[in-house]
Chain A
Amino acid sequence: MCTTCGCGQGETRIEGEHALEHRHADGTVHSHPHDHSDPHEHEHGHGDGHHVHSHAHGHDHHDLHFGRGPAAAHAPGLSQTRMVQIEQDILAKNDALAAAIRQRLAERGVFAVNLVSSPGSGKTTLLVKTIEALHGRREVVVIEGDQETSHDADRIRATGARALQVNTGKGCHLDADMVGRALERLAPPAGSVLMIENVGNLVCPAGFDLGEAHKVIVLSVTEGEDKPLKYPDLFRRSTLMLLNKIDLLPYVEFDVARCLGYARRVNPEIGVIELSATRGQGMDEWLAWIEGGVLAAQGALSRARR
């Protein structure tokens, strides 16, 4: 981590992306995996005979003056506290980036899915089987989100599909900035399917729009059937729930009807497909859903061009 500005918290790495070197005003040179526009604030104290205070200023060393407040002077004991209305959504920046991605994908007629689940639900296997089934019909381009390793992207690439691994480091979800940067490299062609495999986590990905057409939540029957109630936010925001590993139903205690009931409690509109990625049950329905999405994306594009 850079000790001057503390950046590097995200530790995001996108495969093949080179770190950017930059120079601070004090001559320190170091690298970041990304550039950012935050001027770095630091405090210092100085005595001028009348009072000692500390104040923040940027690297451009245009000092801020207490005299700019409503009282136009800095008299000790006179408070110049001001209230500034903001009323800004905390995730406004991410939402704006996501909107730009959505627009770009729409202009190319690309159908994008944000695949979310707990770790171990079988997302990657599902993706591999999906890509194999669509081979020769639809190109599938994949963004793989994981905290560490490129194992999943390697598995996807073994199918011949283009995949880019995004390692989030300590981050527990993908955000729109990461996806935007990955898309610059991947450039999915018109009529293709973009599958974004989010970091395995049923909490944080709920808040971060990635510019996808739909969130699809994968739940496997080896997990608790009450997950829709435990993690309602993601179920509420998902268009479709894939109930995976149904071939294991005879061996586990999982009440499908109860699970679907819970899911519909938090999202009455949610669609459900029961499938087994390894055995193939239900895969046709899933592939048809994808095809419907691609056709909708292309239909919207041709209407926009008319």
Chain B
Amino acid sequence: MALAESVLQIVEETARHHGASRVRAVHLTIGRLSHVEPEALAFSFEVVTRNSIAQDAQLEIHTSEGVAWCMECSDTVSLDRLGDACPRCAGYQLQVTGGDEMRVRDIEID
């Protein structure tokens, strides 16, 4: 819920800055390795945007893939879930390097 409120805050500020009358759509990028449940975020977004400039705005959540640096392989590998092993060497010496972001990508306004 707090995340949805933060999204709304960013959307409202941007919409106001651009003199928008209405927000039609909001695009988010949510990493596969972030702790966000996209369905829960979509539900919260609908609740917090009621009676706001973003009421009925379409929320689109784009998922970015998880990537990590494997110290054993000395290479970047893909990672579906935190706690999974390196797909190449099956080790766990992994440092997440991408796919944990939560960003407001862009909005469509009238």
Chain A residues engaging chain B, CB cutoff 8 angstroms: 6, 9, 38-39, 41-43, 53, 55-56, 58, 64-66, 68-69, 79-94, 170-171, 173, 175, 203-204, 206-208, 228-229, 232-233, 236, 262, 264-266, 268
B3 touches A58 (CB 8 A): no
A207 touches B19 (CB 8 A): no
A-B contact count (CB 8 A): 119
Closest-CB distance, A35 to chain B (whole angstroms): 15
Q: Which of B7, B12, B20, B35 contacts A38 (CB 8 A)?
A: B12
Q: Which of B10, B21, B85 contacts A55 (CB 8 A)?
A: B21
A88 touches B2 (CB 8 A): no
B84-110 at interface with A (beta carbon < 8 Å): 85, 92-96, 101-110
26 A-B interface contacts by CB (under 8 A):
A6-B51, A41-B12, A56-B21, A64-B20, A66-B21, A81-B24, A81-B110, A82-B18, A82-B109, A82-B110, A86-B106, A86-B107, A87-B106, A90-B6, A90-B10, A90-B28, A90-B104, A91-B6, A92-B10, A173-B2, A203-B35, A207-B35, A265-B85, A266-B83, A268-B71, A268-B93
B12 touches A175 (CB 8 A): no
B9 touches A38 (CB 8 A): yes
B83 touches A232 (CB 8 A): yes
A contact face: mostly helix, strand, loop, or mixed: mixed
B3-26 at interface with A (beta carbon < 8 Å): 3, 5-7, 9-10, 12, 14-16, 18-22, 24
B83 touches A262 (CB 8 A): yes
Residues of chain B at interface, number, CB under 8 A: 46
Alpha-carbon separation in the docked complex, A83 to B107 (Å): 6
A90 touches B92 (CB 8 A): no
Closest-CB distance, A298 to chain B (whole angstroms): 29
Q: Which residues of A lie under 8 Å from residue B12 when comparing CB positions?
A: 38, 41
Q: Which residues of A lie under 8 Å from residue B101 when comparing CB positions?
A: 89
